[in-house]
Amino acid sequence: MGRKKKSIKRPMQPDPRYHNLLVTRFINNTMLGGKKSLAEKNFYKAMDIIEERSGKEPLEVFQKAMENVKPFLEVKSRRVGGATYQVPVEVTQDRRTALAIRWLISFARGRKGMPFAQKLAAELMDAYQEQGSAIKKKQNTHKMAEANKAFAHYRW
C-alpha cells in the first residue's frame, strides 16, 4: 500500500450552537467552495425546520438519523488469479460516519424543487424514520455484502 507515513488527524472545534464534533464534521462536508458560513446557515436552518415539523429535539433527530444510515458491511474488490471478487468486509467506525454523512448530503442535494436547507431537513427526517434514499443505499450495500458472503474467505 502507501509508502508514506500515516497522516495525523487535525483536531476539530465543536460547532457553536450544539457544541458537537459530529455536527462540525457534517457542516464541513456540506460546505462547497470553502463557504463555511453558508454551510452552517443551511445546516442550522435545516435543524430549525426539523424542530418545527417534528417537535423533537433536532440534535437527537440528527444523531438518530446518522445511526440509522451508518452501514456495518460493505464490499471491496479483490483480485484473485484472473477473477475479481466482491469481498464483504466490516466497515470501521470512522468510515461508517464518513459514508453516512456523504450519503445524506448527496441524496439531499439530489432532491428537486426546494432550497438546500429544506432538502437536508427532509432527508434527515426520512433517515430518522428509517426511510428515504440514504436508508435504501445502506440496505443495498448490506444486501450486496450478504449476497457475496461466499467470498468472505478472500478477506485480507
The 10s digit of each residue's pLDDT in 17-57 is: 999 999 999 999 999 999 999 999 999 999 999 999 999 99
CA distance 105 to 107: 6
Residue 2 within any structural domain of the chain: no
Task: State the pLDDT confidence band at 122, using cuts at 50, 70 and 90.
Answer: very high
> What is the pLDDT averaged over residues 107-127?
95
What is the count of structural domains for the chain? 1
Interatomic CA distance for residues 150 and 8, integer angstroms? 36
Mean pLDDT across the chain:
92
Closest C-alpha to 42, from 94, 114, 132: 114
Residue 1 in any domain: the answer is no
Question: For position 23, what pLDDT does the model report?
Answer: 97
CATH of the domain at 125: 1.10.455.10
Q: How far is CA 43 from CA 4, 9, 23, 100, 137, in A?
A: 36, 24, 9, 16, 22
Q: Using alpha carbons, select from 88, 66, 93 the residue that is nearest to residue 148.
A: 88
Statement: residue 149 has pLDDT above 80 = no
The answer to whether residue 8 sits within a structural domain is no
Confidence of residue 79 (pLDDT cuts 50, 70, 90): confident
11 domain-assigned = no
Query: Taking the CA atoms of the chain, what radius of gyration do you get in angstroms?
Result: 18
